[in-house]
A and B are shown apart, each in its own frame.
Chain A
Amino acid sequence: MNNKSNDILLEMRDIRIDGYSDDRWHEIIKGVDLTLRRGEILGLIGESGAGKSTLGLAAMGFARPGCKISSGSVQFDGMELTDMSENERRSLRGSRICYVAQSAAASFNPAHRLIEQTVEATVQYNLQSERDAKLDACGLYKELQLPDPDNIGNRYPHQVSGGQLQRVMTAMAMSSRPDLIIFDEPTTALDVTTQVEVLSSMRQIVEQFNTAAIYITHDLAVVAQMADTIKVLRYGETVEDAPTRVMLSDPQEEYTKSLWAVRSIQKQPSVSDDIALEVRGVDASYGASVKVLHDVSIKVPRGRTVAVVGESGSGKSTAARAITGLLPPSKGEILFNGQALPPALKNRSKEQLQRIQMIYQMADTAMNPRHTVRDIIGRPLQFYLGLTGRALDARILELLELIELDASFMDRLPGELSGGQKQRICIARALAAEPELIICDEVTSALDQIVQEGILKLLLRLQEELGITYIFITHDIATVKAISDEIVVMFQGKVVEQGSKDEIMAPPYPDYTELLLSSVPEMDPDWLTNLLSKRAS
């Protein structure tokens, strides 16, 4: 992040972009200015719907179908993109401005080998012969620390992992040695441990070729590692612009401060010996051969929160499925209030079912889109408690009040609710059964920071008032720190560690816990640099 010139590469002035929805055009970017020098990295942050990607694509003179750049100027290296013909604009893409997308798995064409896709733009513009471009691509793969760099390009996208694909996509963007790369949430879909590797190789390569970049993300800690300056967007308008260090140490706007609000929730952990649920030596497998859980034992104290953490594929959600009986364990037992639960869901009594409820990550798909809120919350009330008529309505109202929504929500459909409201309805549905234990499976992962904070506060309040026990499955360490009493660390289907939050979060750590905890980005621009030098030593 040095060697900056004052030579301006990209200058966007008063950009306005309209999007078409509900049969009319809405302004989604409302007059944003942006300046980028050669070799500079600009972090663009904001919540979903803030217009980050739309603005990033506008820097390429591109608008997604259903969007149009209605006014403003985009000057790239002295050329006015908005005055160019579509063909002239196209000839800049892939040669001088490149794009790295969020979901690498979806952004690679499944029908072609990686190397063909890596060099496609370079060869198309005759920047290099196909042979040279491919040799160069292997070199880039090596720079990006991909395994077997000479041969990995001959694979198809489905044959490599998500983190590797993300790096191949960076190589693809780098192949034509562009002046500018737009990184659009490139690490959002990755596990924290993978994210560190991808971030460091991306940062190294843009530095090496002195490429300018716009780095789009919703994660302030990530952008702090990458960017020289940060721009905060909200509702299509600039909230604040500042150099990274200034922004982190001295944010001016309330909104900017609230972006890391979730990190400010701190629950005072408390310990209890009254065990509500005990998972004892459970093995579980999908089909006959794929064993996912190996001898998993977890103790869940009554009225407390046990956070289960681990990367994707570590068996967290499978453990939840075993507890609920959706996936009967092949070995071991599950004790609830000291009594063994029948392994399979269909053998459990209504009363046993009522005591354990579940909330899912995707509130969207966990609700029938044709049912109103009344139907959704009313169903468990009728099924478990036999409520009807006025008593039913009264109870639905009480539950709505409990989740801080008013009576006007009763007759709405899920499609008319925001993401946070949908998750609240799911919480109310779980509460309706009057359970003792609620399993929360990544319930805040799909939500923006501020909404996450609201949901977590609600869950904490409900625990205080109703004494509910939670098993909280997540990969997000910040969330774990915020709400847990006890922590279970899982890795490759095994429990690595279980203990109180203070024990787990304090050294000495077992190797895996150390790797996991140290990989969580911190709000410190030197964090990645320090971490890498520490790991190297």
Chain B
Amino acid sequence: MHPILSTIIQRLGLGLLTLFIVSIIIFSSLEFLPGDFGQAVLGQAALPETVEAFRRELGLDRPPVERYFMWIGNVLQGDLGNAFSGRNASGVDRSREVWAMIEPRLMNTLFLATMAAVIAVPLALFLGITAALYRNSIYDRVVNSVTLTTISFPEFFVAYILILVFATYFKIFPSLANISDDTDFTEKIYRSALPAMALTMVIVAHMMRMTRAAIINLLASPYIEMAELKGVSKSKIILRHALPNAWAPIVNVIAFNLAYLVVGVVVVEVVFVYPGLGQLMVDAVTSRDIPVVQGCALIFAGTYILLNLFADIISIISNPRLLHPR
């Protein structure tokens, strides 16, 4: 078997192990959350016996270890369980499946993340490469300081500034990004423009700076001097000789930022009232709807692990020492 394949399989295995450990951490940290769903629904005035009965019905009276294995066992069969919300102490059960709640939200989040990534990644690479090419020029300094400025402001501030400029002064885009399943594609893009722009501004700086630094770091290598002495032009030196050796650090930062686009965007979602996964999770935490929180957290963790796995694989493939062993 090709050594790369075995490395990838090994990384996949490690990723699954990580996910398993994360599931334990998610579960046990929720155990430490003060109060529970029963208390939250019934209120402070409820009789202890009523709360107790409701807890029993939800299965919250069983020992944590047992509950963990029931939960994880179901997850492994693709069943994230039913939400707590929609039930009440009188026994009426209008609860929905966790997956049915998560799925449309997840699709919205992925849509926004993809849109931001499609703008931000090529933009960051372009800016990083050109900044490295014209390093220490006015262009380099402007790009550096502008991106540094956008990353330095809090996300909500960037978001409100965008609303102020593009929705209030110039009425180009809507300030509220309320989309749903039946919104058509172009309309979705139009309505998501401002949140996507806000996210782009937040993540471009990080990726652009890593691209620039990774390339400049290699420019002192003897093989770059060799290329100069072969008369290779400046732009070709960067694109042909530096960039192929710089992918590993760049891809890692890209993966990190893409993961952020999925798991870290709740503030931007709130500002633009975008119906994404982050909001769902925050609402679920507030109402102590444990199965929903667990489901969201597991998806976030999975996204993170998967993207990092991709980054690892790409950095392995970009290294000829590993791709073409002796």
Q: Chain A interface (Cβ within 8 Å of chain B)?
A: 57, 60, 62, 64-65, 90-95, 98-99, 101, 103, 106-112, 120-121, 124-125, 155-156, 158-159, 172
Beta-carbon contact of A62 and B229 below 8 Å: yes
Closest 5 CB pairs of A and B: A94-B231, A94-B230, A93-B231, A111-B244, A106-B222
Asked if B188 CB lies within 8 Å of chain A CBs, one says no
A120 contact set on B, CB distance < 8 A: 227, 230, 232
Q: Are A159 and B232 in contact (CB under 8 A)?
A: no
- Stretch of B70-78, B115-123, B288-296, B318-326 that contacts chain A: B318-326
Tell me which of A64, A101, A110, A125 contacts B321 (CB under 8 A).
A110
Check if B153 is an interface residue, CB within 8 A of chain A: no
Contact A108 B226 (CB under 8 A): yes
Please list 15 pairs of residues, one from A and one from B, whose beta carbons are closer than 8 Å in the complex, sorted by A's number. A60-B229, A65-B220, A90-B231, A91-B231, A99-B226, A106-B221, A108-B223, A109-B227, A109-B245, A111-B318, A120-B230, A125-B231, A156-B324, A159-B326, A172-B230
A101 to B227, CA, bound (A): 11
Check B226–A107 contact: CB distance below 8 A. Answer: yes
B223 touches A106 (CB 8 A): yes
Given contacts A99-B226, A108-B223, A109-B223, contact A158 B321 (CB under 8 A): yes
Which residues of chain A are near B231, meaning CB under 8 Å? 90-95, 121, 124-125
* Interface presence of B225 (CB below 8 A): yes
| B29 on interface, CB distance cutoff 8 Å | no
| 202-226 of chain B: CB within 8 A of chain A | 220-223, 225-226
**B286: min CB distance to chain A, Å:** 51
Once the chains bind, are B228 and A62 in contact (CB under 8 Å)? yes
Which of B223, B236, B324 sits near A159, CB closer than 8 Å? B324
CB-based contact A124/B321 at 8 Å: no
In the complex, what's the smallest C-beta–C-beta distance from B277 to chain A, in angstroms? 39
Q: Does the CB pair B222–A107 fall under 8 Å?
A: yes
State in angstroms the CA–CA spacing of A95 and B231 once bound together. 8
Chain B, range 228-282, C-beta contacts under 8 Å to A:
228-233, 236, 240-241, 244-245
| Nearest-Cβ distance from residue B32 to partner chain A, whole angstroms | 45
Indicate whether A107 sits within 8 Å of B223 (C-beta atoms), given known contacts A159-B324, A159-B326. yes
**Distance (Å) between the CB of A522 and the closest chain B CB?**
31
CB contacts (< 8 Å) of A155 on chain B: these are 324
Instruction: Give the residue of A57, A111, A121 whose beta carbon is less than 8 angstroms from that of B232.
Output: A121
A-binding residues in B (CB < 8 A): 220-223, 225-233, 236, 240-241, 244-245, 318-321, 324, 326
Closest B-chain residue to A159, C-beta based?
B326
Cα distance A103–B222 in the bound complex, in angstroms: 8
Given A106-B221, A109-B245, is A158 in contact with B326 using a C-beta cutoff of 8 Å?
Answer: yes
B residues within 8 A CB of A107? 222-223, 225-226
Q: How far is the CA of A436 from the CA of B243 in the complex (A)?
A: 54
Let me know if A156 and B320 touch, CB within 8 A.
yes
B142 to chain A, nearest CB (A): 24
Question: Which B residues are CB-close (under 8 A) to A121?
Answer: 230-232
Q: Which residues of A contact B244 (CB under 8 A)?
A: 109, 111-112
Q: Which chain A residues border B225 with CB–CB below 8 Å?
A: 64, 101, 107
Residue from B229, B240, B241, B326 within 8 A of A93 (CB atoms)? B229
Bound together, the chains give a CA A156 to CA B223 distance in angstroms of 14
From A60, which residue of chain B is reached at the shortest CB distance?
B229
Contact B320 A101 (CB under 8 A): no
The interface residues of chain A lying within 8 Å CB-to-CB of B221 are 106
Q: For the complex, what is the distance from the CA of A64 to the CA of B222, rounded to whole Å? A: 11
Instruction: List the A residue with the shortest CB-CB distance to B230.
Output: A94
Task: Assess the A94–B321 pair: CB atoms within 8 A.
Answer: no
Q: What's the Cα separation between A155 and B240 when bound, in Å?
A: 18
Indicate if the CB atoms of B232 and A110 lie closer than 8 Å.
Answer: no
B324: shortest Cβ distance to chain A, in Å? 5
> Chain B contacts of A110 at CB under 8 A?
223, 245, 319-321
**Complex CA–CA separation, A156 to B321 (angstroms):** 8
Other A-B pairs beyond A94-B230, A110-B319, 17, CB < 8 Å: A65-B220, A92-B231, A93-B230, A98-B229, A101-B225, A106-B223, A107-B226, A108-B223, A109-B223, A109-B227, A110-B320, A111-B320, A112-B244, A124-B236, A156-B324, A159-B324, A159-B326
Q: A64-B225, A106-B222, A108-B226 are in contact. Are A124 and B232 (CB under 8 A)?
A: yes
Q: Choose among A95, A101, A103 the residue with the greatest number of B CB atoms under 10 Å from its CB.
A: A101
Given known A92-B231, A93-B231, A125-B231, contact A101–B324 (CB-CB < 8 A): no
Task: Identify the closest chain A residue to B234 (Cβ).
Answer: A90
User: Provided the pairs A110-B320, A156-B324, A159-B324 are in contact, do residues A93 and B223 lie with their beta carbons within 8 angstroms?
Assistant: no
The CA of A358 and the CA of B229, in the complex, are separated in Å by 42
Chain B residues positioned under 8 Å from A112 (CB to CB): 240, 244
CB distance from B260 to the nearest CB of A (A): 29
The answer to whether B324 touches A94 (Cβ under 8 A) is no
Closest A residue to B324 by beta carbon equals: A156
B223 CB, nearest partner CB in chain A, Å: 4
- Interface contact A99-B326, CB-CB below 8 Å: no
Nearest CB on B from A66, distance (A): 11
How close is A335's CB to chain B, nearest CB, in angstroms?
Answer: 39
Q: Which of A64, A98, A111, A158 contacts B230 (CB 8 A)?
A: A98
What residues on A are CB-neighbors of B321 within 8 Å? 110, 156, 158
Closest beta carbon of chain B to A418's beta carbon, Å: 25
A65 partner residues in chain B, CB cutoff 8 A: 220
Q: Is the CB of A101 within 8 A of B245?
A: no
List of A residues within 8 angstroms of B319 by Cβ: 110
Bound: A297/B262 CA distance, A: 64
In the complex, chain A residues whose CB is within 8 Å of the CB of B229: 57, 60, 62, 93-94, 98-99
- Shortest CB–CB separation between residue A449 and chain B, in angstroms? 25
Give min CB distance, A105 to chain B, whole Å.
Answer: 9
Please measure, in the bound complex, the distance between the C-alpha atom of A106 and the C-alpha atom of B324, giving whole angstroms. Answer: 18
For B247, give the chain A residue with the smallest CB separation.
A111
Chain A residues, Cβ within 8 Å of B223:
106-110
Closest residue of A by beta carbon distance from B224: A109
Least distance between B321 CB and chain A CB atoms (Å): 5
A101 near B326: Cβ-Cβ < 8 Å:
no
Chain A residues with CB below 8 A from B324, complex form? 155-156, 159
Distance in angstroms between the alpha carbons of A94 and B229 in the assembled complex: 6
Q: Contacts of B320 on A, CB cut-off 8 Å?
A: 110-111, 156, 158
Docked Cα-Cα span, A101 to B230, in Å, equals: 12
Residues of B within 8 Å of A158, CB to CB, are 320-321, 326
A112–B228 alpha-carbon span in the complex (Å):
16
B222–A94 CB distance below 8 A: no
Closest A residue to B233 by beta carbon equals A90
Q: Least Cβ distance of A93 to chain B in Å?
A: 4
Q: Which of A92, A108, A109, A112 has the most CB of B within 10 A?
A: A109
CB distance from B243 to the nearest CB of A (A): 9
Assembly CA distance A172 to B232 (angstroms): 14
Q: How far is the CB of B199 from chain A (nearest CB, A)?
A: 32
Instruction: Report how far A90 CA is from B245 CA in the complex, Å.
Output: 24
Question: Complex Cα distance A93/B222, Å?
Answer: 16
Question: In the complex, what residues of A have CB within 8 A of residue B222's CB?
Answer: 101, 103, 106-107
**Complexed CA–CA distance, A91 and B233 (Å):** 9
Closest Cβ neighbor of B219 among chain A residues? A65
CA distance A63 to B220 in the complex (A): 14
**What residues of chain A lie closer than 8 Å to B220, measured between beta carbons?**
65
- B226 — nearest CB in chain A belongs to which residue? A107
Chain B neighbourhood of A92, CB < 8 A: 231
- B244 CB to closest chain A CB, in angstroms? 4
Residue of B nearest to A109 (CB): B223
User: Which chain B residue shows the least CB distance to A111?
Assistant: B244
Nearest-CB distance from A81 to chain B (Å)? 13
Task: Give CA–CA (A490, B52) in the complex, Å.
Answer: 82
How distant is the Cα of A60 from the Cα of B225 in the complex, in angstroms? Answer: 13
